[in-house]
Amino acid sequence: MSAPTDLDVNAALRERYGAAAPQLSDPALLGSEMLATMLRHRSVRRFTGRPVGPETITALVAAAQSAATSSNNQVWSVVEVRDDAARQRLVAQAGASAFVAEAPVVLLFVADWARASAIAGGRGEADEAAEYLESTLVGFVDAALAAQNAVVAAESLGLGTCYLGSLRNDPAAAATLAGLPARAVVAFGVALGWPHPDETAGVKPRLAPDVVHSLETYRPVSPRDIEAYESTLAAYNATQGRPSGWIRQIVARVRDIRGLHGRERMREWLTDRGLPSR
């Protein structure tokens, strides 16, 4: 990959934020290939038939393991799924998005206290602390940090990625398909492959930086901020043939239990997986 020009980083910022984009001038920032890669992130759901080699996955897992991990406990794991039938089962049985069946590789990132529990059990010790909410949070945070490292590494190589929160639609089925023991749960997946030339997804606009970035103390969002983003996202969605309405989407998500789409049972599911989060 060639090094970006000064214009590349600022152009990527404009693509991400539209009129709200900051303008950078620091040569170190403008010359950062990694920053340019991260700013151009997009979710890819169409892939070519070009295989993703095992050595590439080895490198991505190493990148994932290089992420921060709470107290070096490393309470996450990843299950690589390549088999066609297995990917189809993720769709049919675990609620994964339909395009997962066509992705060359799916990485299942696991919040994993099973390994720590096994180590404790092997020494005749209890594992009671794994049952508390803090432990569940640490497992999910560790998995997310690891996955993001892998995604950034993959995209730096030209691969396309898409996170799969849909695998939490049926945690029991996902755990069964991944062969997980108790005290482990699939947090999410990542579909991975070489982007298809006909993939139309672009760089989706985000809220303006100063909406999410406060200095010293939290700044509540203003109606003006939200209306500006609603307009920006509507323009992008029009290019994708999607309906606009981010405000409507957020309100529907928080208004009542229907916004959880069945995931209000998550504590019950986690309890069944040996992570009661008490």
pLDDT in tens, 21-51: 999 999 999 999 999 999 999 999 999 999 9
Domain ranges of the chain: 1-40, 54-199
What is the domain class of 54-199 according to CATH? alpha beta
Burial per residue of 216-232, b for 16 or more beta-carbon CB atoms within 10 angstroms, e otherwise: eeeeeeeeebbebbbeb
Is-contact 5 35, C-beta < 8 A?
no
Is-contact 138 204, C-beta < 8 A?
no
Extended beta strands in the chain, E state: 76-81, 105-112, 160-164, 184-193
Across the strands, what pairs with 164? 189
3-state DSSP assignment of residue 24: coil
For the record, the structure tokens of 216 come out as 């010293």
For the record, the structure tokens of 274 come out as 């040996």
Cβ neighbour number for residue 162 with a 10 Å cutoff: 22
Is-contact 206 230, C-beta < 8 A?
no
Report the pLDDT value the prediction gives residue 141, as an integer from 0 to 100: 98
Mean pLDDT over the full length of the chain: 95
Of 45-49, 105-109, 243-247, the range with the lowest mean pLDDT is 243-247
Across the strands, what pairs with 111? 76, 185
Report the pLDDT value the prediction gives residue 4, as an integer from 0 to 100: 45
By residue count, the chain amounts to 278
Q: What band does 6 get if pLDDT is binned at 50, 70 and 90?
A: low
Query: How far is it between the farthest Cα atoms of the chain?
Result: 60
Residues 36 and 20: their CA atoms lie apart, in Å, by 18
Q: What band does 243 get if pLDDT is binned at 50, 70 and 90?
A: confident
